[in-house]
Chains A and B, each alone.
Chain A
Amino acid sequence: MRKFNLLVLNEWLKISKKRSNIIPYVILLVLSLAVGYMTRTFAADMYASAADFTADSLQPRGIGQLLAILVIVGTAGIVSREYSQGTIKFLLIRARSRTAILASKYVTVLLYTLSMQVVATVGLFLSGAVFFGLSGGEAGIGEILTSLLYSTVYCTVYATIGFMLGILTKSTGVTIGATIFATTIDKLVISREFYKYVLFPNLNLAAYKDGGAPMQGMTLTFSIILLCIYMTLFLLAGFAVFRRRDVA
């Protein structure tokens, strides 16, 4: 396990030692403040408290979509850049299996996603505290955590799609492009029976809040099972290709 942790540390350092790594975190904080300020200015009585504001803004249809995009941009290169830089050769001639190396990369992607979520939550809450105050409102810590969970699920699925595409295409640009395109069309609803088996309508679990459903006949359990199936497929495809591929 110690060996694996060291691999994760390696991957984390590769991301965090980039000088540009701070930018997405700054964007999140600035945007949180900007959203808070604008809401306060144009719809002052929309939220009663910081918790209300945070719980609502964090959802995938709020700042959550931007979060997903930032996560994709931050992690799309984790596999493909090793190929384009040529560092893949030194990486794979170590006494570590390809599976362990790729798994450490995926764990790093998850950690990165989580770190972005935490920063976004803290940023939104601070912004809420400044513009709406701490007292009053209906929402509490429970609502914030629920929203955080929805947002994390949404971002993790996209991070996993990006991770797989990065392995399959070996191109950072294609990965970012294709995944961001997906985030822009995932709100479309095609009113056909088959569409509920497609990934997109199942992504935003927040839609089930208050007894709703993205489409008729869909339930929370249904979506969770479908998301699990899709994630497993993405990861299987990624690992199978990475393990077998000739590095030429």
Chain B
Amino acid sequence: MNSTAHNVQEPSGPAQEQTVLEMQGVSKLIKGKAIVDNLSFKIHKGEIVGLLGPNGAGKTTTIRMMTGLIRMSGGDVLIHGHSIRKEFKQAISQIGAIIENPEFYPHMTGYDNLLQYLRMSDGAGVSRIKEVVELVGLQEAMNKKVRAYSLGMRQRLGIAQALLHSPKLLILDEPTNGLDPAGIREMRDYMRRIAEVEGIAILISSHMLAEIEQICHRAVVIQNGKLVTVTQLTEVPEARSEVALTIRVDKLEAARTVAGALQGVKVTGADEAHFELHVQLPDGAVPELVAALSEAKVGIYRITENRQSLEEDFLKWTGGNRIA
């Protein structure tokens, strides 16, 4: 498993395999119905992992069990080897989290709110507030009451709050909920910076697939509380042998004949209205195909890759848009 192959800092040796979070067969039963069913997965240091699932799949319940907000019916969650059930304080001190919307005491300033959380954590001094506030760029708003904050500002204060005690794992539940496109982009930049600057693992729960696809290294897909699949998102190009291409040409019939004659190339369809040919072929055979087409005097306007998006995968895994 080369889960950290695309990690920017390329941590060396054993650090790569250091497990920050381990879910061990976690279950939650409510009135005999399994909301989360025997869920197991791991998150390593420096990884950004997405927790994906349709509405009602059990994402929020899972996250609330990781943070000890709700009790699990079975299994255990280990944070840096500490059980959240038996060694709550040691385990939770490694976690920073925003669960659903970040809510603060509205009649207090941003600074006073952060002080509240600082007084509840061990080891961090007042200077740490300045650091995290600078990281999220809220310097100007620190002396304003939280009541006057926009949702975007509250999200940033939420991140500041989560990073205050220098956790090893950051858990974000629907972090872009209710944010405008600029806010979403800003959020993404923060998360990247946090992963790089602070070097911590991040777990993001979302049903916004494009979001997950853009920033996560891996995605854990759950449905009806069960693990569906764990998938690598940033794939290494060499690893994929087959590619699907759409080629727009001037002479469709000629192109079809040329492509069909080449070994390894499979013509999967043609769109006569748009002069497009759909082919499937090994990655290494692409130059060959282009050369052959040119030789046959077939003009090429465009070549586009038909990548199966995460969305299609997701619908395939979760069986359409059924709500559990």
**7 interchain residue pairs of minimum CB distance:** A86-B103, A246-B70, A94-B120, A95-B93, A247-B69, A6-B119, A95-B89
Q: Quick check: which of A7-15, A46-54, A107-115 contacts chain B, the rest being far away?
A: A7-15
Question: Does the CB pair B103–A246 fall under 8 Å?
Answer: no
Q: How far is the CA of A17 from the CA of B109 in the complex (A)?
A: 10
Which B residues, 102 to 121, have Cβ-Cβ distances below 8 Å to chain A?
102-108, 112, 116-117, 119-121
Which residues of chain A are within 8 angstroms of B122 by Cβ–Cβ distance? 3, 95
A89 in the interface, Cβ–Cβ < 8 Å?
yes
B67 in the interface, Cβ–Cβ < 8 Å?
yes
Question: Does the CB pair A10–B67 fall under 8 Å?
Answer: no
- Most chain A CB within 10 A, of B70, B102, B120, is at B120
Are A17 and B69 CB-contacts (below 8 A) given A95-B89, A247-B64? no
Which residues of chain B are within 8 angstroms of A17 by Cβ–Cβ distance? 105, 107-108, 112
Question: Which of A89, A96, A244, A247 is in CB contact (< 8 Å) with B120?
Answer: A96
Question: Does the CB pair A94–B117 fall under 8 Å?
Answer: yes
Question: Does the CB pair B112–A246 fall under 8 Å?
Answer: no
B36 in the interface, Cβ–Cβ < 8 Å?
no
Question: Which of B70, B90, B106, B107 is in CB contact (< 8 Å) with A247?
Answer: B70
Q: How many residues of B contact A (CB 8 A)?
A: 32
B88 in the interface, Cβ–Cβ < 8 Å?
yes
A19 in the interface, Cβ–Cβ < 8 Å?
yes
Q: How far is the CA of A244 from the CA of B69 in the complex (A)?
A: 10
Q: How far is the CA of A10 from the CA of B105 in the complex (A)?
A: 11
B298 in the interface, Cβ–Cβ < 8 Å?
no
Question: Does the CB pair B69–A92 fall under 8 Å?
Answer: yes
Question: Does the CB pair B117–A19 fall under 8 Å?
Answer: no
Q: How far is the CA of A161 from the CA of B89 in the complex (A)?
A: 30
A41 in the interface, Cβ–Cβ < 8 Å?
no
Q: How far is the CA of A127 from the CA of B253 in the complex (A)?
A: 105
Which residues of chain A are within 8 angstroms of B105 by Cβ–Cβ distance? 14, 17, 85, 87
Nearest B-chain residue to A85, judged by Cβ:
B103
Contacts A/B (CB < 8 Å), 15 sampled = A3-B122, A10-B116, A17-B112, A19-B107, A85-B103, A90-B104, A93-B67, A93-B69, A93-B92, A94-B92, A95-B93, A96-B89, A244-B71, A246-B70, A247-B69
Question: Does the CB pair A89–B69 fall under 8 Å?
Answer: yes
Residues of B within 8 A of A (CB): 64, 67-71, 88-90, 92-93, 95, 97, 99-108, 112, 116-117, 119-122, 161, 165
Size range of the interface on A? 20 to 34
Q: How far is the CA of A3 from the CA of B99 in the complex (A)?
A: 25
A248 in the interface, Cβ–Cβ < 8 Å?
yes
Which A residues, 211 to 246, have Cβ-Cβ distances below 8 Å to chain B?
244, 246
Which residues of chain B are within 8 angstroms of A85 by Cβ–Cβ distance? 103, 105-106
Q: How far is the CA of A40 from the CA of B9 in the complex (A)?
A: 81
Question: Does the CB pair B69–A246 fall under 8 Å?
Answer: yes
Question: Which of B95, B103, B108, B120 is in CB contact (< 8 Å) with A7?
Answer: B120
Are A248 and B120 CB-contacts (below 8 A) given A87-B105, A95-B89? no
Question: Does the CB pair B71–A246 fall under 8 Å?
Answer: yes
Q: How far is the CA of A115 from the CA of B324 in the complex (A)?
A: 53
A209 in the interface, Cβ–Cβ < 8 Å?
no
Q: How far is the CA of A7 from the CA of B120 in the complex (A)?
A: 7
Q: How far is the CA of A33 from the CA of B318 in the complex (A)?
A: 71
- Most chain B CB within 10 A, of A87, A89, A97, is at A89
Residue-by-residue, is A68-103 near B (CB-CB < 8 Å gives 1, otherwise 0)?
000000000000000001110111111111000000
